[in-house]
Amino acid sequence: MRALALAALSLTLAACVHGGAAREAAARRDYYGTLEPMASEAVYFVVTDRFVNGDPGNDQRAQGGPDPDTRSFDRPVPGGPPGESDNIGYLGGDFKGLLDNAGYIREMGFGAVWLTPIVDNPDQAFTGGDAVTWGGAFQDRGKTGYHGYWGVDFYRLDEHLPSPGLDFARLTRGLKQHGLKTVLDIVANHGSPSFTMRKPQPKYGQIYRDGVLVADHQNLPPERLDPAHNPLHRFFHNERDLVQLSNIDDTHPEVMEYFVGAYSQWIDQGADAFRIDTIRHMPLAFWRGFAERIRAKRPGFFMFGEAFDYKAENIAPFTWAENGGVSVLDFPLKERLAEVFGRTRADYARLDERLYLQDGPYANPYELMTFYDNHDMPRLDATDEGFIDAHNWLFTARGIPVIYYGSEVGFERGRAEHAGNRNYFGQPRVDAARSHPIRLALKRIAEVRRQSPALQRGLQLNVSLQGERAAFYRVYEHGDTAQIALVLLNKGDAPAPFAVSEYLQAGRWRAALGGGEIVMGEGGTLRASVPAHGAEVYLLDAPVRRADLAAALDQAMAHARKR
């Protein structure tokens, strides 16, 4: 009898324990901004030819011949102010220079490298269009395809990039060994400049498939093309689009097959994600079809596009599932970041309305690529402290941060294309950068993000964005991981006091940057002083228990993603 009673008691206790666990599991909530794996990574963007020349043997310095109008290596832009330079020729950056410095990139806290297109480009400087002038725009005469965006054969590597034993597949494997994913820049909207040449030039206006010619603009203006009767014109529209670039016909079935085949090949060789150039110059239907085909091969493959527009409602449709579910570079936020962290030092409040944390037009604002400049616009014009403040924001606020090469030292700050924006960085600058104050601060805040699931994927709940100070929460609770981050940012020139009680949950909060812990009781206030141009991130590794915090997060979950 006693044994039976003990057995019954054991079963009762087990049922109680199981019931308690079940109730706890039922009460547990999911709080996250995104579950996208790429959100764990910060991205370092390089114009490969302008990063580091690791192998002078692939420079192709004689390419283009002796004619000064067509030679392709080292073409300075005339007319610059004394002591300043720009160049529209090849300068030698390559896969080896990138891989040799993979450790440099990784130790800054980055988890991915976005590199410009790798496909074959023309071998000469372009002789058509308008001559490039210092600081000019939409000018291509005298320019080369050093940037990679003038694709000719999308199935072959450009010869300036690989080295013996180092093709694209070996590059991606090498980057992965350093903990870096590869984001490949792709183009489908256009090929190379295709008309206005003084006489036809090799490869310009032509498209090849692994060495076989499939299309040729024949140096004709678009309105003179005859795709109905000339099979070499079938890949092109009859309307002009961007300067003298070929305008590829997105409606032609062969075009879709061509690009899906080409870019699937580079996925097979290790590309982990795509950045899509000029995405808004082709219709949503094309990108829906392209995304479906790519993801049939690689489910969940991450892509983001460049739709250069500061109005969120104009770029958001690309992110919707019915249009392919492609993320975008966050141009609307970028416009405000330049105000807030540039020379004007605008109020933090300027950022609030561009976050679109609730009821915004995007499918998911947490998957947007956040940045303050790139190769197509003037670099951020800021002091060293402005760059540090910008990085403190990008690596703690919602979105996936992207940093343009050289920004870790304020390289060519304020400079536009054809005025130094894409100048050569080089190994000496890489070596000197390790002790630069911008890079040292970037490394600290990027490492905090790399270690924090809340900063990578958590919901953002703003407490205050005002003046020189910002305070907000990032909260992630999913599966077995639960973390609350309280972010305090100060972009002022003096230390700033913070006192936060709103939504502050009791528990042991650890300071990720300053070190140490603060134990908070129920209804307490966290008080801290954040240094000038500094940041602090307090982390609580615990599920959400505070009722008003849970209610605010429930609302955020309900409204953050509309599609």
pLDDT in tens, the chain (563 residues): 334 333 333 433 343 434 444 344 435 689 999 999 999 999 999 999 999 999 999 999 999 999 999 999 999 999 999 999 999 999 999 999 999 999 999 999 999 999 999 999 999 999 999 999 999 999 999 999 999 999 999 999 999 999 999 999 999 999 999 999 999 999 999 999 999 999 999 999 999 999 999 999 999 999 999 999 999 999 999 999 999 999 999 999 999 999 999 999 999 999 999 999 999 999 999 999 999 999 999 999 999 999 999 999 999 999 999 999 999 999 999 999 999 999 999 999 999 999 999 989 999 999 999 999 999 999 999 999 999 999 999 999 999 999 999 999 999 999 999 999 999 999 999 999 999 999 999 999 999 999 999 999 999 999 999 999 999 999 999 999 999 999 999 999 999 999 999 999 999 999 999 999 999 999 999 999 999 999 999 999 999 999 999 999 999 998 876 55
Which residues, other chains included, contact 540 with Cβ-Cβ below 8 Å and sequence gap of 6+? Answer: 483, 484, 485, 486, 505, 507, 508, 509, 510
Tokens standing for residue 424: 């050569």
Q: Which among 176, 42, 170 is positioned nearest to 114, based on CA atoms?
A: 42
Helix (H) or strand (E) holding 26, with range, is: helix 2-27
Rounded alpha-carbon distances, angstroms, from residue 94 to 52, 107, 115, 424, 532: 7, 20, 10, 12, 39
Query: How far is residue 98's CA from residue 80's CA, in Å, rounded to a whole number?
Result: 29
What 3 state SS string does 252-319 have? CHHHHHHHHHHHHHHHHCCCCEEEECCHHHCCHHHHHHHHHHHHHHCCCCEEEECCCCCCHHHHHHHH
In this prediction the pTM is 0.94
Let me know how long the chain is: 563
Query: How far is residue 453's CA from residue 489's CA, in Å, rounded to a whole number?
Result: 19
pLDDT digits (tens, 9 = 90+) for 139-148: 999 999 999 9
Q: Dihedral sign, CA of 352, 354, 360, 364?
A: negative
Q: What is the dihedral of CA 453, 335, 138, 226, to 10 degrees?
A: 70
Rounded (10°) angle between helices 253-268 and 284-297: 40
Tokens standing for residue 159: 């010869």
Radius of gyration of the chain (CA): 26
Q: Which pLDDT score is estimated for 261?
A: 98
DSSP 483-538: EEEEEEEE-SSS-EEEEE-TT--SEEEEETTT--EEEE-TT--EEEEE-TTEEEEE
Neighbouring C-beta atoms of residue 436, cutoff 10 Å: 17
Q: Which pLDDT score is estimated for 561?
A: 63
With contact defined as beta carbons under 8 Å apart, do 281 and 310 qualify? no
Q: Which pLDDT score is estimated for 559?
A: 80
pLDDT digits (tens, 9 = 90+) for 163-186: 999 999 999 999 999 999 999 999
Q: Which pLDDT score is estimated for 29?
A: 83
